[in-house]
Amino acid sequence: MSAHVERLTTSGTFSLDGGTWGVENNVWLVGDREEVIVIDPAHDAQAVKDAVGERRVRAILLTHGHDDHIGAVRETAELLGAEVWISPADDVLWRRVYGDGYRPDGEIADGSEFAVAGVVLSALATPGHSPGSTCFFIRSGIGAAGLPAQVRDELGADIAAGARADAETAVADGEGEPPGREVAQDGTVPVTGAIPLLFSGDTLFQGGPGATGRSYSSFETIIDSIRDRLFALPDETVVLTGHGEPTTIGQERPHLQEWIDRGE
């Protein structure tokens, strides 16, 4: 079975500047049956461990240091025996949660690469929501059938290779092998048409940039990051967000000027 993406949703709180808000976070797993990378294991270490199962964890990657994203990472890392990586530019946020008592294992730089299950996640430094906010881009290696069903449902026709998902469904429904495609012995359809994937953390959501109203955030900086780094990616790039539902670069790109006019 080739590399695929799994989504786990967890609930908890986010606190900063004296306020506390209830939040739901997306935890993303990228991997295969043997190994995974975990992105932002928020709130519930045991739920993340259950999702990982017996697989080897190549790394835990953090998109940024807000407490909803990192508050459970120490316990998760201990449960999984995995290394934790984050941009050093978010150290101020890390220390707000852990002080000096616990440190990350690795520092993510712009261009850092992490390999798992035959795919490579490339780090894009996208400051603004926080100084060290980082997105992870997979250029190739995962097709529509490798996305969670709820992501395929949400994006529908916006997935360039959506027909492949339909083909997979047809096989699952017993309609037989789609033209020109092979069915593996375990019934899965090998997908060769890769879709670019972006794990955007809280930098880009369906409908706009992440929040920049609180400490250590900058609206101008997040707009620069989105314009210069994220909107340089292909339109068909599927954006898997830190909260809420997925989107694509092509869906969001036309709205940049509206966001700038609206302000933070």
DSSP result, 23-36: EEEEEEEEE-SSEE
Min dist CB 69 to Fe ion, Å, is 6
Identify residues 144-163 at the interface with Fe ion (CB under 5 A).
Answer: none
Min dist CB 114 to Fe ion, Å, is 21
**Closer Cβ to Fe ion, 212 or 248, answer by number:** 212
Min dist CB 210 to Fe ion, Å, is 6
> What is the rounded (10 degree) CA torsion for 182, 185, 187, 192?
-40
Using rule CB under 5 A, residue 243 touches Fe ion? no
* Parallel/antiparallel/unpaired status of strands 84-86 and 19-31: unpaired
**Closer Cβ to Fe ion, 2 or 133, answer by number:** 133
CA–CA separation, 162 and 165 (whole Å): 5
DSSP result, 66-126: -HHHHTTHHHHHHHHT--EEE-GGGHHHHHHHHTTS---SEE--TT-EEEETTEEEEEEE-
CA–CA separation, 103 and 24 (whole Å): 25
Size of the site for Fe ion (CB under 5 A): 2
CB neighbours of 19 closer than 8 A, spacing ≥ 6?
Answer: none
Q: Which two tokens stand for residue 17?
A: 């500047």
Min dist CB 242 to Fe ion, Å, is 7
Taking residues 24 to 63 in sequence order and writing x for each that binds Fe ion by CB under 5 A, - otherwise, the string is: ----------------------------------------
Q: Which two tokens stand for residue 45?
A: 């270490």
Min dist CB 53 to Fe ion, Å, is 28
Min dist CB 112 to Fe ion, Å, is 20
Identify residues 199-218 at the interface with Fe ion (CB under 5 A).
Answer: 202
**Closer Cβ to Fe ion, 214 or 253, answer by number:** 214
Identify residues 59-88 at the interface with Fe ion (CB under 5 A).
Answer: 66
**Closer Cβ to Fe ion, 63 or 237, answer by number:** 63
Residues that bind Fe ion in the complex, under the rule CB under 5 A: 66, 202
